[in-house]
């Protein structure tokens, strides 16, 4: 028995080539409708916590910046295991093409209620984080542009021009270098469901000099 493909086999190389050439890649219809549907079901069984409001001062400040609710993804059902398997294959493809030495992956489900946003930010600051590549996957079927909720990706720098406006349509995948590209999530009229993930390098090794041969 064969299981239907979760994604197009050429997809991984296309993403790695785009990352190499441009630092980002936007791929509509990257993930199969079945996988997205199953991930959406899995998300709806998760206890989501507000990413914006917490105990610390830092977290209170975050509420002005982001208003999504999140749940970290663990391999606890078929859909999340398939997602993590996909992420592991993408990790290999990126490492083969860019020699980035990505070694771990973490991701969370995110729910943006109507009106929720995530203001312009970068996912990692140079030298302060070991997040190297960001991945966002979108789960809502039949998204209309009139629903709002796009992710806007900006050129590197403070006053960057818009590089891409990504609509959160089911199956679309956005991949970009975490330190380089400011981006934001615009408020939507509908509930908006996505997965955000990050590949890390091993910082315990990154400060060491390679041993001589």
Residue 123 found at the interface with ligand OGA (CB under 6 A): yes
Residue 110 found at the interface with ligand OGA (CB under 6 A): yes
The residue within the footprint of ligand OGA, chosen from 86, 117, 118, 176 (CB under 6 A), is 118
Of 97 and 184, CB closest to ligand OGA: 184
Residue 175 found at the interface with ligand OGA (CB under 6 A): no
The residue within the footprint of Mn ion, chosen from 123, 147, 169, 179 (CB under 5 A), is 123
DSSP string, the chain: --PPPSB-TTHHHHHHHHHHHHSEEEETT-B-HHHHHHHHHHHHTS--EESS--SSHHHHHHHHHB--EEEE--S-SHHHHHHHHHHHHHHHHHHHHH-----EEEEEEEEE-TT--EEEE-S--TTT--EEEEEEEE-BTT--GGGB-PEEEE-SSTTPPEEEEE--BTT-EEEEETTT--EEE--BSS-EEEEEEEEE--HHHHTSPPPP-
Q: Which does 178 bind (CB under 5 to 8 A by kind): Mn ion, ligand OGA, none?
A: none
Contacts with ligand OGA, 62-101, as mask; x by CB under 6 A: ----------------------------------------
Task: Please give the residue ranges that form the binding site for ligand OGA (CB under 6 A).
Answer: 110, 118, 123, 136, 151, 183, 185, 194, 196
- Where along the sequence are the contacts to Mn ion (CB under 5 A)? 123
């Amino acid at each position: 028995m064969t299981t239907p493909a979760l994604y197009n086999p050429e997809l991984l190389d296309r993403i790695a080539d785009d990352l190499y050439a441009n630092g980002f890649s936007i791929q509509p219809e990257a993930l199969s409708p079945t996988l997205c549907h199953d991930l959406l079901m899995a998300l709806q069984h998760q206890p989501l916590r507000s990413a914006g409001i917490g105990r610390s001062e830092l977290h209170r400040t975050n509420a002005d910046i982001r208003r999504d609710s999140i749940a970290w993804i663990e391999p606890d059902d078929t859909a999340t295991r398939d997602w993590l398997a996909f992420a592991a294959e993408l990790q290999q493809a990126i490492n083969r093409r860019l020699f980035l030495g990505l070694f771990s992956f973490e991701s969370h489900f995110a729910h943006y209620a109507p009106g929720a946003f995530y203001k312009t930010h970068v996912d990692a600051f140079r030298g302060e984080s070991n997040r190297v590549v960001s991945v966002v996957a979108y789960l809502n079927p039949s998204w209309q542009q009139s629903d709002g909720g796009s992710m806007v990706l900006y050129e590197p720098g403070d006053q960057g021009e818009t590089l891409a406006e990504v609509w959160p349509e089911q199956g679309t995948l956005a991949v970009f270098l975490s330190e380089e590209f400011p981006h934001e999530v615009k408020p939507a009229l509908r509930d908006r469901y996505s997965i955000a993930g990050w590949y890390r390098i091993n910082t315990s090794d990154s400060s060491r000099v390679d041993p001589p041969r």
